[in-house]
Amino acid sequence: MTADELRQLLRRADEAYYQQDAPILSDQEYDRLMAELIRLETESGLVPPDSPSLRVGGAPTKTFAQVAHPVPMLSLSNTYDEGEVRDFDRRVAGLLEGAAYSYFVELKFDGMAVRLRYENGVLVLGATRGDGTTGDDITANLRTVRDIPLRLLGDPPPVLEVRGEAYMERAAFAELNRLREENGEAAYANPRNFTAGTLKQQDPREVARRPIRFFAYDLVRDRALAGDTHAAKLDTLRRFGLPVSAHGFHAPHIDAVLARIAEIDRLRHTLPYDTDGVVVKVNEDRHRDPLGATAKAPRWAMAYKFEAEQAVTTINDITLQVGRLGTITPVAELEPVLLAGTTVKRASLHNEEEIQRKDIRIGDRVIVEKAGEIIPQVVQVVDPAAPGRGPQFRMPTQCPACGSRLLKSDEEVAWRCVNAACPPQVRIRVEHFAGRDALDIEGLGEAVVDQLVSRGHIHTYADIYRLDVDTLAALDRMGPKSAANLMAAIDASRAKPFAKVVYALGIRHVGETTAKDLAKAFGSLDALRNASEAEIAAVDGIGPRIAAAVHAFFRNPDQAALVDRLVEAGLRTTDDREAPKGDAFAGKTVVLTGTLPTLTRSEAEALIEAHGGKTSGSVSKKTDYVLAGESAGSKLDKARALGIPIIDEPEFFRILGD
């Protein structure tokens, strides 16, 4: 195919997948065609502004250019009170002096407002709201968001200005936070912050790796067209291929508006993304100019915000949690309180700067809520002027676990313990190394690891391979038979795939997918550890931050010695992949959830990969199957909501033909 033909096919594939939810290419075929397009464009040096290749992100930038908004992106006046909604209606009626009008009610997404500009149907600009009149040009970042079409469908006008919201689904946010904490990074407080932080990244390739979504909610014209309505404009946006929420509602009068608000208040807990309220707009565009605007907000629209479920409790203590890579996270130890259906006893305080900004102290009465209905967080102190408050919090200078000096770099807000022998870090690193997603050493769980570290039997994960049956049998609740089984599991770990070994090393920023990419690209441990930072960064999907972390890991003398010991222990150090056993899942993406009757998760993943498929940790429109077992969680609910086929273990075997 020519480059033009590839671009046309990939555009059709994007539109079919993201707008119609009806894929025409497998993930494998899409990736192969994309790689071919990038090769052709690199050779020719020609990359049109609507090329699908821009989805993977371009070179990093040092600064964002400033762009003026031709029509200001005003904020909305907010209320939490039904009476003020009726007051809004009375003001509209008074200003329109008897003219007929209706309303349109839509979700207020809890994300980041952005502006898109299309010229002759091609996306030429994407910008942040900024101060309402001027924003940052983040076009390169927004081009990586798959929901945003790079070329519109149909016959759009010469210039089209779109307003919308970039957001992140809660499940994706929770998974990314899990990976951040696993890689020694501070967790984000909520999906909104994560979205904003992502879109302000200087490296579009990093943005492309994060699951940012987008909804369009307004089409902006210089002048209102006769007879145009907000509902009709949303239909126009849909026709041009832009994603629009299905929860918009045309309300003929204010009573219908309030009824719809009550419905959305019940509905919002079932949505896969956060919404903190609804937006109420006068539906008829011809009324916007007569109604006008204040200096900050239009008079033809308002936002009704839902009260977040909150509770008041007391901070009994602030403790410090040591992560796998030494990150120190302050945690509020709370007087137990019921919140959103669960008892909350602890809440992350994120970092020292967050504590100081909110002036949180031990003994304070505080308001807590669940950010994104997932993570408990302290919102604010009830009475910061209360007499007799405790002293201001100061981060200790020594690690609470090992007494080593804590350090903080200029580029981070987090403090770290850099003592590789710090017991909590050792425990977590060993648990990670032996975990199901790494070398899967069954029997080497938290309780056993805790005893081994506490008794001085292991100081690093390399010490696992020096254990013997007698040492293990002497542990609490172990015994000779369990010790023999654990030794067999340790021995079996030597044959785990090279990619699992790379992941098990615990290199900062290297998750399972990145470990597979590195193993495939370099083929052996020797090649990987001797690669330059530039060679690592050249691997598809590896950015400069990951490359720097991998390169630094292998240049660290202590880590290099650990790796040498693993090589001596006989772990697999080459990417000796077996030929596929079949193609039952060729090009398919499968998500696992729950406990299967006979297979472990790792065994199921291995079977899927051996038959041409791949696995993912989160459910999306790109998921082909969800393999569900007992006690399946939210992934199963999301799969049902998206209409994704759900299979159990017997059906899984039937597909395999085994």
Structure tokens at 377: 């967080």
Total residue count of the chain as it appears in this document? 658
Structure tokens at 177: 């936070």
Block residue for tokens 């920023």: 509
Nearest to 377 by CA among 324, 308, 328: 308
Q: How far apart are the first and last CA of the chain?
A: 38
Nearest to 139 by CA among 118, 156, 165: 118
Q: Annotated catalytic residue: which of 108, 233, 588, 635?
A: 108
For residues 68 and 56, what is the distance between their CA atoms, to the nearest angstrom?
A: 27
The three state secondary structure string of 133-193 is: CEEEECHHHHCCCCCCCCECCCCCCCEEEEEEEEECCHHHHHHHHHHHHHCCCCCCCCHHH
Contact at 8 Å (CB) between 146 and 14?
Answer: yes
Contact at 8 Å (CB) between 130 and 64?
Answer: no
For residues 498 and 518, what is the distance between their CA atoms, to the nearest angstrom?
A: 10
Task: Tell me whether residue 108 is one of the annotated catalytic residues.
Answer: yes
The three state secondary structure string of 194-208 is: HHHHHHCCCCHHHHH
Strands 213-220 and 159-167: antiparallel
Quote the crossing angle between the two packed helices 170-182 and 634-642, to the nearest 10°.
140
DSSP three-state, residue 212: coil
With a CB cutoff of 8 Å and minimum separation 6, the contacts of 597 are 629, 630, 649
Q: One-letter amino acid identity for 77?
A: S
Residue 139: exposure state from Cβ atoms within 10 A (0-12, 13-18, ≥19):
buried
Contact at 8 Å (CB) between 91 and 282?
Answer: no
Contact at 8 Å (CB) between 580 and 541?
Answer: no
Phi, psi angles (nearest 5°) of residue 100: -70, 140
Structure tokens at 125: 């600009």
For residues 129 and 113, what is the distance between their CA atoms, to the nearest angstrom?
A: 6
Contact at 8 Å (CB) between 73 and 126?
Answer: no
With a CB cutoff of 8 Å and minimum separation 6, the contacts of 329 are 186, 187, 320, 321, 323, 348, 349, 350, 351, 414
In sequence order, what are the beta bridge partners of 375? 371
Structure tokens at 419: 């003592």
Block residue for tokens 């006989």: 570
Phi, psi angles (nearest 5°) of residue 118: -110, 135
For residues 197 and 538, what is the distance between their CA atoms, to the nearest angstrom?
A: 25
For residues 161 and 447, what is the distance between their CA atoms, to the nearest angstrom?
A: 58
Contact at 8 Å (CB) between 276 and 306?
Answer: yes
Cα radius of gyration rounded to whole Å, the chain: 27
For residues 62 and 140, what is the distance between their CA atoms, to the nearest angstrom?
A: 13
- DSSP 8-state code for residue 577: P
Nearest to 119 by CA among 68, 162, 159, 69: 159
For residues 616 and 333, what is the distance between their CA atoms, to the nearest angstrom?
A: 34
Instruction: List the catalytic residues.
Output: 108
